[in-house]
């Protein structure tokens, strides 16, 4: 047992979990639950579905922990599982997506984002955020995933490429098309 107050890294917790220590997985789940939920919520736009995907992700992580490659990024592996489950969920529910070819060229409306914004300015920012979330919900799964990973999770293009197991050029294309579509839809909404 380590000294009290010493936090173990993900790799050590994975090794302990594989050795049969249940508390190690509990620590991993507690450490990453919020991040998994946030990705799922941003992709699905629904709290209940995000909670379900979060639970499904954690179950899948637990059942497939033996396939995790030691030395790799644990959180990237977990993100990949989460985004794949979200994309599969979107496909299963037959979500309606909007064709990028039909998107209008429209600029995004900008709200006053200064620290001293008035209540009206903050309300406008909230409305803009609602519009962007609605636009994200209308994107195809992979475009939505790369936008969430880039702009919500703050990942770099190469990190997204590793997470989604796709070439960096594909990630860049999905980002470009997704941003273009969101700009167009925000104008429509």
Q: What are phi and psi of 73, to 5 degrees?
A: -75, 120
**C-beta of residue 50 within 8 angstroms of C-beta of residue 130:** no
pLDDT at position 103 over 60: no
* Cα 147 from Cα 43, distance rounded (Å): 9
The proportion of the chain whose per-residue pLDDT surpasses 90, expressed as a percent, equals 37
Q: What mean pLDDT is reported for the chain?
A: 79
Taking the domains of the chain in order of start, what are their residue ranges?
6-95, 97-189
Per-residue buried b or exposed e for 92-114, using 16+ beta carbons within 10 Å of the residue's own CB = eeeeeeeeeeebeeeeeeebeee
Rg over alpha carbons for the chain, rounded to the nearest Å, is: 19
Per-residue buried b or exposed e for 44-58, using 16+ beta carbons within 10 Å of the residue's own CB = beeeebbeebbebbb
- Domain 97-189 belongs to what architecture? Orthogonal Bundle (1.10)
pLDDT at position 3 over 70: no
pLDDT at position 129 over 80: no
Token pair 């990973």 in the structure block, residue: 149
The more confident residue out of 83 and 45 is: 83
Q: Residue 148: which pLDDT band, with cuts at 50, 70 and 90?
A: confident
pLDDT tens profile 76-94: 899 999 999 998 898 887 6
Highest mean pLDDT among 33-42, 116-125, 133-142, 180-189: 33-42
The pLDDT of residue 119 is: 57
Assigned CATH class of 6-95: mainly alpha
């Amino acid at each position: 047992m380590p000294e009290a107050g010493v936090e173990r890294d993900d790799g050590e917790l994975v090794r302990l979990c594989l050795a049969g220590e249940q508390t190690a997985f509990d620590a991993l789940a507690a450490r990453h639950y919020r991040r998994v939920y946030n990705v799922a919520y941003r992709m699905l736009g629904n709290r209940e579905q995000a909670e379900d995907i979060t639970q499904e992700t954690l179950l899948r992580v637990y059942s497939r922990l033996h396939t995790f490659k030691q030395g790799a990024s644990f959180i990237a592996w977990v993100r990949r599982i989460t985004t794949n489950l979200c994309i599969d969920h979107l496909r299963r529910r037959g979500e309606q997506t909007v064709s990028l070819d039909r998107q209008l060229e429209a600029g995004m409306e900008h709200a006053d984002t200064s620290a001293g914004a008035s209540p009206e300015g903050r309300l406008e920012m909230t409305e803009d955020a609602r519009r962007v979330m609605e636009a994200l919900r209308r994107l195809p799964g992979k475009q939505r995933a790369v936008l969430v990973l880039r702009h919500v999770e703050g990942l770099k293009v190469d990190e997204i490429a590793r997470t989604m197991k796709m070439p960096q050029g594909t990630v860049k294309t999905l980002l470009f098309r997704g941003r273009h579509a969101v700009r167009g839809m925000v104008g429509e909404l």
